[in-house]
Structure 1
Amino acid sequence: MKFNLSLYCLLSLFTSLAQTSASQNKITEVIENYFNYDRENIHVQFNKSIYVNDEQLVFKGYVSNKTTQLPNTKTTNIQVVIYNDKKEIIQKQLLFAYNGYFEGGMRLNDKFTSGNYYFHFYTNWMNNFVEDESFVQTIEIINKDEPYQIKTNKPNFETAKIDLFPESGIIINETSNKIGIRITDCHQKGIQITDGTLTDSKSNIISRFNTNTMGNGFFYFIPVANEKYTVNIKVDNKNLSKPLPPIQNSGITIGYNNNLNNNTLAIVVKTNENGLKLYQNKKFNLIVHQNKNLIQKEFTFENNQPEQLIRFSKLNLSNGVNTIRVIDEDLNEVCQRLIYINTSTKPITNLELKPIKNDSLSLTGTINLNNASLSVSILPKDNIKTTQSNSIIGTFSLNSYLAKPETETYLYFDSENKTQKQDLELLMLNQAENKYKWDNIKMHPPKLLYPSLKGTTISGIVEKKINTPSKYKVSLMSLKDKIFLETTLNDKNEYKFENIFATDSTTFFIQLMNEKNEAVFSKISVNVFNPKTDNNFAKSWTNIICSPSQNSEEVITFSSSNKNAINLDNVVIQNNYKKTKLIHKEGNNFATAFKISDKEFGSLLDFLGRNGYRTGFNPTDNSVFIKNRLGDIVRNTDNSPDVFIDDIILLDLNLINNYSIEEVDEIYIDKMGSSGFSNGGNGIIKIYLKPGTNKDYLKSKLNTFILTNGFSKVLLYKNSKFSTKKEFDYFGTLDWSPNIILKDNSNFEIKFAKENQKEVIVQIEGYSNDGQLISEIKHLTTTETP
């Protein structure tokens, strides 16, 4: 048979192409499978980062779809767990997100001791993934009764350490290697140096390097076989050194040029002479991807060249951190490294601060964004720590792809930082590992074990015997939250309401309705679905014990501190206070009277808890209880007092939960019951509402229950007052506006009290419906008074 060389070559080419296609298709398949399910990212802006423990702490949160990089409109349930500096849980909240945004906060009090507190935000859906997608923000709280020593922004040189990051993780013998270096203190704060050296075993200087303000730097060198190398630095008159890791006889590393014209990315895959022999006739795939957005190209070390140059268009890559990987024919990862691709355009921001009448200031802003939601914090220029140093860009585009997120990201995206591009490239070099490990991508795609929770579920059973349950309905109502729902019964007299969005401690009414839509009395059991929502990564935090940050010589002693009080003898107090007239005093002469002022806060139960009673919710059925603080078995005072609202006795204490203290005019507490008939001598509480308050709750004879573990109520933010101008300048807030909405005109205005400020600091965070991010910190000075 005659041998056809041309046909053989053609068949060989087709076979080669088929193998290449199959290999690349398999890579595409495993990546798409691993990132098939959308992931969430959370960023939270606090109005500042240091609080005194009698202030309101508030924040605005943003939820992004990691695949589309757009606001995640599907997410509703955000869990936040607050830890103290011992990593002990001190509070949990469930927050309601709508259209990709949420708000929250808490009222601080003297129970918060001085120290750092950690706010951990996550969703139940995040537990489906082995990578930590949650968000943590560190906040400092100061006890105003203790002197506070202001911390400097300097790193702690006594705890300085050196970390080395060879390009792609290895150092290859007898070829040029790029070595990343990072110098930080125990708190991971970068240390800048101007002259570091690499020396050999004979103390010869082989290379020199410096580091930037984040502590990142690099150097090149060509290692010699069997030689030992050491990195040496001098920090604050202290000499440090660290040996280079072992040098490999062969291997593959990845380098790139991210600064070419025409949106071109040039990637160089390198080996040495030993590698050329080892990898001869072997095929590799070079891939660049973020999540499942992927580009790839096959290459070999052809023509006996140890460097292979491969070009891609950056227009095909996602904005933010991408991963470059070299994958062999058996789908094993040979090497990898990270790269930051910037394809986004920065919004143009114009801000102006000018005085207006009544000693106020006006902040006007124009931003070329449409359909955007922003949060704006305005602080005095002398605030001891301007704002939080994390930016929304740093969270969504950078930290969400790093195995160890950066604690400070704003500088990497600050338009006034002229070296931000180089700083980002150094940061990408100095990463020890990839957040998304190839073995997990290849072998362990996510399994959906945790649902994406939306509100809560209320279910139960109607106890009344019914011949045809399908003709009956159960109605669920909350007048306060304007919830009016109906559902049918199944053949077992069971009902279920899903996706109930209600605030915590809401009182619900529930009743049975027949086919004529008439109320039919029946006992109805209630079960509120409260799934276990702990985050899988909450317990994995490592407690690194660091010595305190360096402090300045300035110490603040708050003028309102109790420790500043001076005992005085023979002081005559002249009281010019005009006594408030009590409207309902008649008939309640034996009771202690309370006229409710605008300074009172919280719920009615909170008020009673502060005035001699134990209040709360029974753990068995979530019903309200009110008990005397010190029970007396003989007098049976552990039973509930008689409670009246506008002289109507409450047979169902759950009804008291419908009213906040702001709706109350007067309260009379008679613990002995002398001002009227009291069952069992347990005392009397009489509550009188302000005129115009809705009293429909009092007329209800329906089944009631209290919803616990609902969404936290959003605080109406009020600026805290400080005793001195210096205290306000250091710790105060001029304004917090979490809901700035930009429509087509793309401008906004905020008016706030001047507080003797001529210069302010403004931090703006947010993003638009099409995914454009904005993070700006501006120092503004007022224009002349008109």
Structure 2
Amino acid sequence: MKTYQVLLFILLIPVFGSGQNQVDSLINNFNERSQIPEENIHLHLNKSIYVKGEDIGYTAYVIDQRTKQPSLATRNLYVQLLDDSYEVVDEKLLLVENGVATHVFETNGSTPAGDYSIKAFTNWMRNFDQPLYAQEPLRILDPSVNMDELYESEERTFTLSILPEGGHAVDGVFVKMGAILKDQYGNGIAASGKVFKNGEEISVFQLDDNGIGSFMLLPDAESDYKFLVELSEQEVVKSGLNIEDKGVSVAVAESHSKVYINLKTNNETLEDRSGEEFVVAINDHKNIKVFKVSLKNHENLLAIKRDSLTAGMNQISYFTHRGLHLGDRLYFKREGLNINKEPKVFLSRQLDSLHINLDFKGISKASSSVSVLPGQSKALPQNHIVSDFYLSTYLKGNIQDPSQYFEKNDRAVEVALDNLLLTQGWTMHDWNNTFGPVDTLRYNWEDGIMVTANLKSKSKSDFLLLPGRFTDSKIITLDNEQKKFSFNGYFPTTGESLKLSAQNKRGKSKPAKIYPQFNPSKFPFFDNIRENLSFKIPDELKSVQLELFDETETLSTVIVEAEVNEDRNQRIRNSARGRIEFFNDADRMRYINIEQYLRNKNFRINRSNGTLRFFYPSARLTDSNNQPNEAVFVLNDQMPISGENLQGFDMSIIDYIELDLSGSTSVFGKSGVPIIKIYFDPNLSPYSKSSKFFTDYIVPLTFEMPAKFYTPTYFDYSSNFFKKLGVIDWQGKLKIENGKAEFTMPYVGQDTMWFIIEGMGDDGTLIHSVQQASVTKD
């Protein structure tokens, strides 16, 4: 028996080729696929159940799936808020720094209640059939709806699946069978099951609290099988079992020091294939070990030292000597995972505030996110960064309560985890996608916005890129015959324009004369969807009376006094059909885009694939079918345009806006249309009052500015509503230095709170902790 181990240092030619050693071919295929970088994304939401008017806080963590280190090369992250039909409600382009990005989705009174999800992906992920993007479900509640109305009256319906280890049940060969029982919400239940052969009970099996278990079976191809689980209200039956007359199955077991892989077969197969060599491959996305096993007996055992396997997931696959893939089995090694499970939380009260100190032993530098919820909260987020990066990536379907597989180290947890892999893990990865020939990579790895500038005429000038909020200035030097130039690493934020200046040999600046092109210029199309299971509201919320928030305190704290020409303003108001709002410099800096401004005015906004559509919830602004009419925009009294033309509109140059919501003004021969008139003057921008030395170019797609998470103000901090669904604080990007982090938050009368902490160290250490902490009495 020979053992081959390969570390990734070279790129080899792919596929199982004739005349080529099949083991070497296997290694070559793995090397080619594994050299391609692949990102994996985890989303940490501040909670799971929201009420209209709350901010949805989220932090994205991005790693290199091969190295399990922060993906430092990832810069562009696309994040979408999807409704229950997976239509895009809102979308944002975020700048990723050291593998981390954070932002918020705002909700208001016009946000429909229901099931939603947040999806995060990169452009590079579009190259893969099974991209490791993130998608997290959430629920938004309407305070005007009684909680009792939200509980489904339908009874739980269950489905039972029976799955052989490695995907094959061979006639006359003992095989471990996985059993999984799930309801329509994706939740399992503890139960007992029975196995019937030709109508006679031959065995029983047990399912754990997640509805997962296993049992041994000796398959008989001439017999009929039935599997039955009896619940208090129903019987769940699975009839039939696919049994192969000939074949090879795999069984995986472990001891304290070794992992055993057993290729098992029957007499009929040995008569045809005795002595034939089979190949067993074990990979961890980065390294591969390949073994030859000769099929000589009914059981052909391969013993491997456990300490030679990588911490985390190991994929065991087996093949014929001609390279025909037979099946897979996952094995998870928990020892050696780089996890920080229980940071210490210290609280001290200082008058009306709480100071929080966090102690992360063994971590020098990291980024973290912290959600603080009342001690009786029923809206705790269900995210688990360790599961997303080490476990769920390799599984099919959702994992119920993933924390149970990482919090304890005992035999019961190991058995439960292995049963999870047995029932949900063996069909997740297609071998050909993992190791087969690589298709052409069509989608680029993005580093901000690429700008390509075509010169209007031959020029001997150099060009100066003026700095932005996240972009440094740079000088572009051209050759004499150069007719265009391009550069990467451009990170414009909402409201920013591309500012370019041409410079002659004396260094004198003048406006640039170019035709710019931007890539990306719109949100990419990414149609991968994981179907969310129905979101089940906890029974403990049945008695909770939802409440509105106290909006007497304005969310914006920027107050700037400016002199206003009252005569002019009054004259404009008198001649307008709608409501006038004049802008000062504070407004121009506060509203980073037209979307944010209109959302603040209770407009409903659909944003999909770079297209904006605006609606106002009013009966007088609907069509003949009572569907809301899309708003139209008029810029400086020119021809009306739709919202899709306002992507990247510079809010810093606005003079005033008129909102005509009367429905009486006709546009394109149509009445009942909301009209938004925008009057602007480029000289009003607080960022630059003059552009005689450079040229401004509108950027069609920009990065979001950092957003502040606003914690709602509650009327009663002792109510069940606050205790069960309230928010105390959210820290989306909290830096850890030398194992320490700290922040201050308001004291709202809750002495015991939940702290849900996730994070990622610069060395790849993952942080996950869900714990309660109490205020220290001074």
Give your verdict on TM over 0.5: yes
Match of 1:197 among 194, 197, 214: 194
Query: Which amino acid is the alignment partner of residue 748 of structure 1?
Result: A
Match of 2:279 in 1: 285
Contact 2:647 2:701 in 1 (8 A): no
Structure 2's unaligned 5+ residue stretches are 1-17, 551-559, 574-580, 606-610, 612-620, 622-632, 639-645, 661-676
- Seen in structure 2, the aligned counterparts of structure 1 residues 697 and 283 have a Cα distance that, compared at 3 Å, is same
Q: CA deviation at 1:180?
A: 0.4
Q: Is the 8 A contact 2:113 2:142 kept in 1?
A: yes
* Alignment of 1:710 onto 2:702: yes
1:361 paired residue among 340, 354, 361: 354
Partner of 2:217: 221
Contact 1:167 1:255 in 2 (8 A): yes
8 Å contact from structure 2 (residues 78, 121) kept in 1: yes
Deviation at 1:182, TM superposition (A): 0.3
Separation in 2 of the partners of 1:611 and 1:355? Answer: 36
Higher deviation after alignment, 69-78 or 155-164: 155-164
In the alignment, what sits opposite 2:497?
Answer: 507
For the pair 1:254 / 2:253, whether they are aligned, the reply is no
Rounded Cα–Cα distance in structure 1 between residues aligned with 2:688 and 2:725: 44
State the match for 1:475 in structure 2. Answer: 464
CA contact (8 A) 2:41 2:120 kept: yes
User: Structure 1 residue 475: deviation in Å?
Assistant: 2.0
Q: Summarize deviations over 1:255-283 as a string: whole Å, max 9, x none.
A: 2223x223x21222222233332331211
**Secondary structure of 1:498 counterpart:** strand
Cα deviation, residue 483, structure 1: 3.9
Counterpart secondary structure, 1:158: coil
Which amino acid letter does the alignment assign opposite residue 321 of structure 1?
Answer: M
**8 Å contact from structure 2 (residues 471, 489) kept in 1:** no
Shift of 1:231: 0.8
Letter in 1 for 2:421: M
Residue 429 of structure 2: which of 431, 436, 443 is its match?
Answer: 436
- Residue 364 of structure 2 corresponds to 370
Task: Give the equivalent residue in structure 2 for 1:484.
Answer: 473
Q: CA shift at 1:167, angstroms?
A: 1.1
- The 5-angstrom pairing of residues 96-107 of structure 1 reads 96-107=95-106
Deviation at 1:748, TM superposition (A): 2.4
3-state DSSP of counterpart to 1:590: helix
CA radius of gyration, larger in: 1
Letter in 2 for 1:241: V
Report what 1:72 is aligned to: 71
8 Å CA contact 2:56, 2:106 repeated in 1: yes
Number of aligned pairs?
689
Matched residue SS, 1:755: coil
What secondary structure sits across from 2:514 in the alignment? coil
Quick one: distance in 2 between partners of 1:79 and 1:581?
Answer: 37
In 1, Cα distance between equivalents of 2:532 and 2:345? 44
CA shift, 1:313, in A, is: 2.1
Tell me which amino acid in the other structure corresponds to 2:226.
T
- Following superposition, the deviation at residue 440 of structure 1 comes to 3.9
Residue 352 of structure 1 pairs with residue 355 of structure 2: no
SS in 2 for 1:710: coil
Please give the residue correspondences for 1:396-475 in structure 2 after superposition, counting only pairs within 5 Å: 396-406=389-399, 408-415=401-408, 419-431=412-424, 433-441=426-434, 443-463=436-456, 465-466=457-458, 469=459, 471-475=460-464
TM-score, scaled to structure 2:
0.79
Question: Residues 172 and 433 from structure 1, CA distance in 2 versus in 1: closer, same or farther, beyond 3 angstroms?
Answer: same
Q: Is the 8 A contact 1:349 1:366 kept in 2?
A: no
Q: For residue 211 of structure 1, what is the aligned residue in structure 2?
A: 207
* 1:136, distance to aligned residue in structure 2 (A): 0.8
Q: Deviations over 1:228-250 (max 9, x none)?
A: 12111112321121124132223
The answer (yes or no) to whether the contact 1:157–1:185 under 8 Å persists in 2 is: no
Q: Which amino acid aligns with 1:530?
A: P
After superposition, the Cα gap between the structure-2 partners of 1:411 and 1:155, relative to the gap in structure 1 and judged at 3 Å, is: farther
Counterparts of 1:660 and 1:461 in 2: how far apart (Å)?
Answer: 27
Paired residue for 2:374? Answer: 380
Q: State the SS of the aligned residue for 2:40.
A: strand
For residue 179 of structure 1, report the CA deviation from its aligned partner.
0.7
Say if 2:515 is the partner of 1:525: yes
How far did 1:695 drift?
Answer: 6.1
Q: Residue type matched to 1:280 in 2?
A: S
Distance change in 2, residues 1:685/1:244 (3 Å)? closer
Number of the residue aligned with 2:564: 584
Distance 2:118 2:648 in 1: 33
- Say if 1:339 and 1:428, in contact at 8 Å, map to a contact too: yes
* Residue in 2 that maps onto 1:16: none
Residue 643 of structure 2 is matched in structure 1 by none
Q: Does 1:242 align with 2:230?
A: no
1:35, distance to aligned residue in structure 2 (A): 1.9
Deviation at 1:605, TM superposition (A): 5.3
Q: Which amino acid aligns with 2:509?
A: A
Which sits farther off after the overlay, 207-216 or 218-227?
218-227
Q: Offset at 1:150?
A: 8.8
- Partner residue of 2:173 out of 172, 175, 181: 175
Are 2:299 and 1:307 equivalent residues in the alignment? Answer: yes
Checking the alignment, whether the CA contact within 8 Å between 2:29 and 2:437 is kept in structure 1 is no
Q: Which runs of 5+ in 1 are unaligned?
A: 1-18, 563-579, 617-621, 623-629, 631-636, 643-652, 672-681
Q: Measure, in 1, the Cα distance between the counterparts of 2:659 and 2:289.
A: 76
Percent identity of paired positions between Structure 1 and Structure 2: 20
Structure 2: which amino acid aligns with 1:507?
A: S
**What per-residue deviation string (whole Å, max 9, x for no partner) do you get for residues 532-559 of structure 1?**
6635542x65588x69768667254444
Q: 2:46 matched to which residue of 1?
A: 47
After the TM superposition, which of the residue ranges 415-424 and 52-61 deviates more from structure 2? Answer: 415-424
1:67-95 Cα distance to aligned partner (Å, 9 max, x none): 11111101111112221101212222111
CA shift in 2, pair 1:376/1:639, >3 Å? closer
RMSD, matched Cα: 4.0
When residues 772 and 244 of structure 1 are mapped into structure 2, their CA distance, relative to the original with a 3 A threshold, is farther
Matched residue type, 1:300 = S
Secondary structure (helix, strand or coil) at the match of 2:415 reads: helix
Distance 1:209 1:150, change over 3 A: farther
Secondary structure of 2:131's counterpart equals coil
Structure 1 residue 29 displacement after superposition: 1.2
Question: How far, CA to CA, are the matches of 2:452 and 2:244 in structure 1?
Answer: 64
- What amino acid sits opposite 2:698 in the alignment? I
Structure 2 residue 158 is matched with structure 1 residue 160: yes
Question: What's the CA shift string for 1:562-587, capped at 9, x where partnerless?
Answer: 9xxxxxxxxxxxxxxxxx99853555
Distance 1:326 1:349 in 2: 39
Q: Equivalents in 2 of 1:606, 1:276: separation in Å?
A: 69
Which letter does structure 1 place at the counterpart of 2:570?
A: F
Give the Cα separation in 1 of the matches to 2:82 and 2:648: 34
Q: State the partner residue of 2:146.
A: 147
**Partners of 1:273 and 1:604 in 2: CA distance:** 72
1:251 and 1:155 map into 2 onto residues whose CA distance is: 47
Amino acid at match of 1:747: K
Q: Equivalent residue of 1:395, what SS?
A: helix
Asked whether the equivalents of residues 454 and 499 of structure 1 are also in contact (C-alpha less than 8 Å), the reply is yes
Task: Provide, for residues 486-528 of structure 1, a one-character-per-residue CA deviation record: whole Å limited to 9, x for no partner.
Answer: 2134535433332201213313322222111112356433322
Structure 2 Cα separation of the partners of residues 734 and 418 of structure 1: 38
TM-score after normalising by structure 1? 0.79
CA distance, structure 1, for counterparts of residue 594 and residue 22 of structure 2: 66
Give runs of aligned pairs for residues 81-92 of structure 1, distance below 5 A: 81-92=80-91
Report deviation, 1:611: 11
**What SS is found at the alignment partner of 1:210?**
strand
Given that 1:181 and 1:217 are in contact with CA atoms closer than 8 Å, whether structure 2 keeps it comes out as: yes
> Amino acid of the residue matched to residue 772 of structure 2?
H
Q: How far apart, CA to CA, are the structure 2 residues paired with 1:245 and 1:438? A: 24
Q: Which amino acid aligns with 1:355?
A: S
In structure 2, the partner of 1:336 is: 328
**How far apart in 1 are the matches of 2:568 and 2:522?**
47
